[in-house]
Amino acid sequence: MKEARELIEGLFTPQEETDLAFEQEEKTVKWKVAKEDKTPIPQEREIEVSEGLKKKIGKFLTQLDTENRLEFAHMSLYEKFVEPK
For residues 29 and 53, membership in a common domain is answered with no
Rounded to an integer, what distance in angstroms lies between the CA atom of residue 79 and that of residue 65? Answer: 12
pLDDT tens sequence across 33-82? 999 999 999 988 888 888 988 999 999 999 999 999 999 999 999 999 99
- The pTM of the whole model exceeds 0.85: no
Task: Report if residue 81 sits inside a domain.
Answer: yes
Task: Report if residue 56 sits inside a domain.
Answer: yes
pLDDT tens sequence across 1-26? 688 788 888 888 899 999 999 999 99
For residues 35 and 18, membership in a common domain is answered with yes
For residues 35 and 62, membership in a common domain is answered with no
For residues 54 and 41, membership in a common domain is answered with no
Task: Report if residue 8 sits inside a domain.
Answer: no
**Segments forming the whole domain that contains residue 66:** 49-85
